[in-house]
Amino acid sequence: MDRSTIRNKILAIFNDEFEIADPGLEDDLREIHGFDSIDAIELLREIEIMLDSELTRDEKKMAMEIRTINQICDYVASLAAARNK
């Protein structure tokens, strides 16, 4: 899965699941859009669906400091690459 596909899927998730249309790729999701820990749990579930794979506890911990769409895309890209080895 390439980065453009990942970005498009993440933006669709934000629009469909969180009703956040067109967030800036560098927006601080917590400060600008009120994205909270419950939203983060839902997002991780959506990422699991996207990857068709359950995330490990360590992979979930890695997501704790993510704040922007670009960081989410990097995170998903790294997970996808690890699964394709």
Task: List the chain pLDDT tens, one digit each, 85 residues.
Answer: 899 999 999 999 999 999 999 999 999 999 999 999 999 999 999 999 999 999 999 999 999 999 999 999 999 999 999 998 7
CATH number of the domain to which 34 belongs: 1.10.1200.10
Q: Taking Cα atoms as reference points, which of 81, 45, 38, 80 lies closest to residue 60? A: 45
pTM of structure: 0.93
Total tally of structural domains belonging to the chain: 1
Question: Where in the sequence is the domain holding 72, given as residue range(s)?
Answer: 3-83
Q: Are 28 and 72 in contact, with CB atoms under 8 Å apart?
A: no
